[in-house]
């Protein structure tokens, strides 16, 4: 299953949905999601991982890149609906310091 990245902006909130594998293979699509068609400054980002079945360290790298590029504060990026093993991996990498893991 190839990965699909979708995004919608609602005011200052940006919602990004990842469906499929979350790793470096989606680099370009993922960056496009928060750089193209951005009409207002983004204050909060919700990343919905309901339909993402796998994330590795390169995927986590993408998340950190996003945080750095947009100069977002910790806690302003929320990772929602993680599958248990993805959640475990995020906590193992202690990324919960930077991202709100639902």
- Phi then psi for 85, rounded to 5 degrees? -75, -30
> Is there binding between residue 27 and other proteins (CB under 8 A)?
yes
Give CA angle at 51 (63, 3), nearest 5°: 70
Q: Which of 9, 13, 15, 31 binds other proteins (CB under 8 A)?
A: 31
Using CB under 8 A as the binding rule, whether residue 97 contacts other proteins is answered as yes
- Output helix, strand, coil percentages for the chain, rounded to the nearest 5: 35, 30, 35
* Strands 44-48 and 54-55, bridge-based pairing: unpaired
Residue 94 near other proteins by CB under 8 A: yes
Lay out the site mask for other proteins across 51-70 (x = CB under 8 A, - = otherwise): x-xx-xxx-xxx-xx--x--
The site for other proteins (CB under 8 A) is made up of 23-24, 27-28, 31, 50-51, 53-54, 56-58, 60-62, 64-65, 68, 81-86, 88-89, 92-95, 97, 102
């Amino acid at each position: 299953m190839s990965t699909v990245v979708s995004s919608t902006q609602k005011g200052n909130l940006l919602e990004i949905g990842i469906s499929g594998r979350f790793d470096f293979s989606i680099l370009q699509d993922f960056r496009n999601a928060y750089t193209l068609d951005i009409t207002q400054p983004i204050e909060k980002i919700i990343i919905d991982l309901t339909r993402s079945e796998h994330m590795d360290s390169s995927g986590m790298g993408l998340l950190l890149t996003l945080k750095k590029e947009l100069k977002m504060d910790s806690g302003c990026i929320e990772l929602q609906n993680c599958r248990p093993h993805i959640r475990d991996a995020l906590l193992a990498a202690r990324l919960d310091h930077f991202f709100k893991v639902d």
